[in-house]
Structure 1
C-alpha cells in the first residue's frame, strides 16, 4: 500500500505549533492530533508493522529540528521502535493521510535538557503515511510448538532429538523486526554448546523438538517489543548427553582455615597439582574447565556440564579470575573464594548475575598460543 510522495521543499511552521487547537482530537494518553489531508482505504498499521512516512518536527517555539521533507527522502521504520507518541499516532492513520500531532513530552523525548542534543517538551509533527509493510510476522502456514512458538521447517533432519538433559550444539541467527541482525553464530569460530536447561526457555523448547541437522525458522516473542518478534534461524548441529553436574563443595559457604589468601582478599586452595612451572600472564588467553557456585550452594555456571572447556583472555574476565588463574600451572585444579569486589559486586535482585562472594573450581588446561 503506497501513496504519492510529496515534493522536496521546506515545510512552513504550523500556525498552531505552540499548542493543540480546540478542534484537535485528544487520546487518553494525551496525544493530540488533527487530520490535514484524508487518506485512502481503511487499513491502519499495527504496532508490529513497518511504515514509510514523510514528516517534519518542530518545538513549540516554531523551531524545526528535523524533516524528511526538507531532505527529499521519506523514512521507514518499525512502529515499535520509535517514540511512544509516534507508535500510537501512526496507528490512527491510513495510507495517503497527512496528520498533525502535538505530542506531550512523556510520549516524546521528555523535558527540555540543555546540551542533550534532543528536542524536549511538547513537540509538534506533521506526518504523512506513505506505505505500510507487515514484517516479522509468522506466515499463515507456520506450525507451533507446544508452548505456542511459531516456526517453519526449512530443512529436515535425521530423526534424532535431544533429551531434556542433553548438551546441544547449534547455530543461531537472530534478526529484529526491522531486519537488523543482532546475533549470528555462523560468524564465530565454532557454534555454541549449552545444556538445554540453561538456555532461554523459548529457545530450549524449539531445539528440544528438532532433529539433528534440522533447520528451522522461528518467530520468538520479543519482550522489548510488545506484540513483536525476533526472527530466528536455527540449526541443531549435534547433541550429547550432559556430563553429571559437579558436586557442591562442602566448604562453599565460607573460606576454610587451610585456604591461602592474597593481599586483595582472594582465597584459594589447590585441589590437584599440575605439572611444570609456567604460569599464565594477564595478557595470555587460557583454556579452562570451571564451575561456579554462590555461597548457598547454587551452581550458576559450569563448562563441565556443557562438556566443553572455555577460552578467554585473562584480562577480559572478573578480577578474581585474572589474579587467580595466574597462580596456576597446566593441569592444576584449584578452588577460589572470590569476594564480591573481585567478582560481580553485591547481590542485586533481577540483575541476572550472581552476587556476593563466589566459589569457583577451576582446572587450568593450557595457555592458548
Structure 2
C-alpha cells in the first residue's frame, strides 16, 4: 500500500487553451473507442467523456465523488505502458483530492467492485505531462474498490491498523492490542512501582513514524510529566509498565493527533515510541 501521484493530483488540465482541450477531447475519444473495440470491452460512457467498465459492481457501500476510499489499481497508457500501480492492499484517499476521472469513476462501484476506468486527458492532466505520463494522454486503470469510509477519521483508523499490523509482522514484534486500538510491546516489564493514568512519571523516549523517521526524542535521563496531560496513547500505554520497564507503544492517530496533526506530525500519522519508564514520581 502507498500514497502516489494521484493523492496530490493538481488539476493542471485547467490551464489548457480552448483549442488544445477540444483537440484532446476529439483525439482521446477516438483512442478510447479504438481501445474498447480492440479489447472487446463492454464500456459505458458518462456525460463528461469518461468511459468505465464494470466487471463486478460490488455489494458493499456505494462510493460517491466525495467519498473517502481504499482502492487498488494499475494505471497504464493505451499502448500498455504501466506508469503506476498499487499493491493489492490499495491506497487510502479522499476522492476530492485525486484526478476528476478517478473521483467520478470510482463512484460507479460499490465495495468489492472491480473494473476499468478509461480517462480522457481533460479529466486527468490535460496538456501537461506528469512524470512518465505524456501531455494529452488517455489513462486506463484496472481498479478494485476495497472499502468506502464515512469520514476521514474512519479512513485513518483503518489505515493506521493496517500500518501497525504490517510493521509488527515485518519487525517480528510480540505486541498486544487494547480495546482502544493501541498496540504495546513489553521488552522489560520493570520491577518498581506501576503508574496509573493519573500519575506523574519520568520517561525517556524516542518517537518515530512507521517508516522509522524520527520526529522527537528525550535525553537519556528522560522528562517528567502528568499522564493526564499527554496524548491518549501515552496516558493508556505507560501504565502497562513498571519502573525500569522498557518497550514500544504503537499509537494510531485517533489516540495521538488525529486527522489534523501537529508540528512535524502530519494528520492521520501512526506514531511509534520506544519508551523507558524511569520513575513514577510521588506526590
TM above 0.5, one fold?
A: no
User: Which has more strand, going by share of residues?
Assistant: 1
User: Which has more helix, going by share of residues?
Assistant: 2
User: Normalising to structure 2: TM-score of the pair?
Assistant: 0.39
Structure with larger Rg: 1
Structure with bigger RCO (C-alpha 8 Å, 6+ apart): 2
